[in-house]
Chains A and B, each alone.
Chain A
Amino acid sequence: MRKDILKINFTKFKGKEIAIVQGKIVASGNSSKAVFAMAKKQFPQLETKDITLLSVPREKVAIYILIK
């Protein structure tokens, strides 16, 4: 296990959208827009690109293809 990597409790955040600021989870919810707004409210001084959004997978594997 790497020490510098973001660690996410899968049971808690499965399928959730999370916002990360300086390596820490600062907000979570069901949509990136709402989660970004929550994070921006906490850190109004940050630029938009300084708040990272991550969609925590629902499953540990997902492959997507175009349906012709």
Chain B
Amino acid sequence: MEKYLFPYGFELLENKRVFAFPAVNITLQKENAKNEFSFLVLVDSGAEFSLFTKSDAELLGINIQQGEKVNIGGVTGDKFSAFIHPVIIKIGNEKIKIEAAFSEQNNTPRILGRNPLFSHFFIIFDHKKQNTIFIPRKNKHFEKILYK
């Protein structure tokens, strides 16, 4: 069965305590651009869409102000604006065109949200073994196992 297994991407060490994060390695590319850039992003089922930074847009050659403006809020009360742009995201061998938000700031987290990626993959968090597993939705065999 086709699947992409990502060991948890990194651990934060603080005062001898360890926090593991379900981050996955993806590449991002502006449409029709040559260069792909690699990011370690947090998979966040609580986020509606994928979020990148202002500087990421500059790196990709995207003029951030030309996108549709949206307002974003976090649970801690912070608010900021972002701009929606089409980009090509690569996860494993799967290349998908998505609409991603680029924050007008650089100090916002980089996250992989639900829309539309969670419709392209079944995503399993195996916290015990500290792996995130992406199974392409086109894999009908896995869907049959889930819903039989």
Contact = CB atoms under 8 A, between A and B. Distances in A.
A8 B7 contact: no
B65 interface: no
B100 to A, nearest CB: 13
Given A48-B37, A60-B19, A33 B11 contact: no
Interface string A1-12: 110111111110
A51 B38 contact: yes
Interface residues of B, number: 50
A62 B46 CA distance: 9
A31 B10 contact: no
Interface in B1-28: 7-14, 18-21, 23, 25, 27
Interface of B: 7-14, 18-21, 23, 25, 27, 35-40, 42, 44, 46-49, 51, 53-56, 58-59, 70-76, 79, 106-111, 113, 130
